[in-house]
């Protein structure tokens, strides 16, 4: 049987010091996986693997095709929630890959090639609370350039916890920048789609400013919990064919 080489004193010391540093950091700034709760890890391997799902595409009643990479439930919900609401912006690195897959799939399925990607702007209240904008940060990590084609007017508040009617009313405050989007083929992007009302309001604003909206891509979709519960219609939409280029 071949002998196992012993570690040098220097490498053994490095392991001891590294372990001590990790232990000290765990006390000063405890970290756990936001998906499963595993201790002392930013994102465990099992939860990271759950972010590798194949994108799927559904169609909203108004005809807008929406591609999503993840289902907003269980461990994935914990990861996305910690990223967006829990101040763990470093998770953008792990979420960038599924977001990029969603964008590529949506662009590939579009009837014409988009020449502009526009994000739904965050609520003013959410930006103040978080101190950063999740979707632009995610798009930057994913290598997806965004154009400032939409803005919100007034005091549009956070969408979390709103029903379809309230989301549609809030989405009506979206205004498109005609000088940016007029005559362009736009792919809409957002982080989580719940009812689709905000995406439809964004499309309405863009079309009103002279743009053609060729589809939408989101990081995650909230599954429909029960028929008529006000959840997203994408849960029941037929999946469309398509491959990631």
Q: Considering its fold, how many domains does the chain have in total?
A: 2
Decide: 70 and 51 in contact? Cβ < 8 Å: yes
Quick check: is 154 in a domain? yes
Within 8 A by CB and 6+ apart from 159, the residues are: 123, 167, 170, 194, 198
Domain extent, residue 69, equals 52-236
Q: Express each pLDDT in 25-41 by its tens digit.
A: 444 455 899 999 999 99
Q: Is the pLDDT of residue 159 over 80?
A: no
Query: Both 191 and 126 in a single domain?
Result: yes
pLDDT at res. 245: 30
Mean pLDDT of 9-38: 60
pLDDT at res. 237: 42
Query: 24 burial class (0-12, 13-18, 19+ CB within 10 angstroms)?
Result: exposed
pLDDT at res. 139: 97
Quick check: is 62 in a domain? yes
Query: Both 16 and 96 in a single domain?
Result: no
Query: Both 85 and 26 in a single domain?
Result: no
Within 8 A by CB and 6+ apart from 104, the residues are: 244, 245
- Residues 228, 234, 238, 242, Cα dihedral to 10°: 180
Query: Both 90 and 30 in a single domain?
Result: no
Quick check: is 2 in a domain? no
pLDDT at res. 218: 97
Quick check: is 46 in a domain? no
Quick check: is 74 in a domain? yes
Query: Both 80 and 170 in a single domain?
Result: yes
Query: Both 142 and 227 in a single domain?
Result: yes
- What is each CA distance from 245 to 81, 108, 127, 129, in whole angstroms? 29, 7, 33, 37
What are the structure tokens assigned to 189, written together? Answer: 């992007």
Quick check: is 241 in a domain? no
pLDDT at res. 181: 97
- In percent, the amount of the chain with pLDDT more than 90 equals 61
What are the structure tokens assigned to 9, written together? Answer: 């004193």
Q: Express each pLDDT in 52-108 by its tens digit.
A: 999 999 999 889 999 999 999 999 999 999 999 998 999 999 999 999 999 999 999
Quick check: is 3 in a domain? no
Query: Both 74 and 132 in a single domain?
Result: yes
What are the structure tokens assigned to 48, written together? Answer: 């990271």
- What is each CA distance from 5 to 2, 8, 9, 72, in whole angstroms? 9, 9, 12, 47
Query: Both 35 and 143 in a single domain?
Result: no
Query: Both 13 and 93 in a single domain?
Result: no
Query: Both 213 and 92 in a single domain?
Result: yes
Q: Is the pLDDT of residue 240 over 70?
A: no
Write down the pTM of the prediction: 0.77
Query: Both 146 and 37 in a single domain?
Result: no
Helices and strands per DSSP (H, E), number in the chain: 9, 7
Query: Both 18 and 64 in a single domain?
Result: no
Decide: 185 and 113 in contact? Cβ < 8 Å: yes
Q: Express each pLDDT in 173-202 by its tens digit.
A: 899 999 999 999 999 999 999 989 999 999
Mean pLDDT of 110-121: 96
Quick check: is 244 in a domain? no
CATH number of the domain enclosing 227: 3.40.50
pLDDT at res. 99: 98
Mean pLDDT of 131-143: 94
What are the structure tokens assigned to 206, written together? Answer: 């863009």
């Amino acid at each position: 049987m071949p002998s196992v080489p012993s570690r040098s004193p220097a490498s053994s010391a490095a392991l001891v010091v590294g372990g001590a540093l990790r232990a000290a950091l765990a006390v000063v700034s405890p970290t756990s996986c936001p998906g499963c709760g595993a201790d002392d890890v930013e994102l465990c391997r099992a939860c990271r693997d759950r972010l590798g799902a194949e994108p799927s595409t559904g169609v909203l009643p108004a005809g807008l095709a929406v591609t999503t990479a993840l289902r907003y439930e269980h461990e994935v919900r914990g990861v996305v929630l910690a990223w967006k609401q829990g101040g763990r912006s470093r998770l953008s690195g792990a979420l960038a890959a599924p977001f990029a897959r969603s964008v590529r799939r949506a662009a590939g399925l579009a009837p014409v090639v988009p020449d502009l990607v526009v994000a739904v702007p965050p609520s003013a209240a959410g930006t103040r609370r978080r101190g950063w904008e999740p979707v632009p940060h995610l798009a930057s990590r994913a290598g997806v350039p965004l154009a400032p084609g939409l803005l919100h007017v007034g005091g549009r508040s956070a969408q979390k916890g709103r029903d379809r009617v309230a989301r549609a009313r809030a989405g009506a405050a979206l205004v498109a920048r005609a000088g940016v989007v007029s005559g362009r083929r736009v792919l809409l992007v957002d982080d989580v789609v719940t009812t689709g009302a905000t995406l439809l309001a964004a499309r309405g604003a863009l079309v009103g400013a002279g743009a053609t909206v060729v589809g939408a891509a989101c990081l995650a979709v909230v599954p429909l919990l029960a028929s008529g519960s006000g959840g997203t219609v994408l849960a029941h939409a037929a999946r469309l064919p398509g491959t990631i280029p």
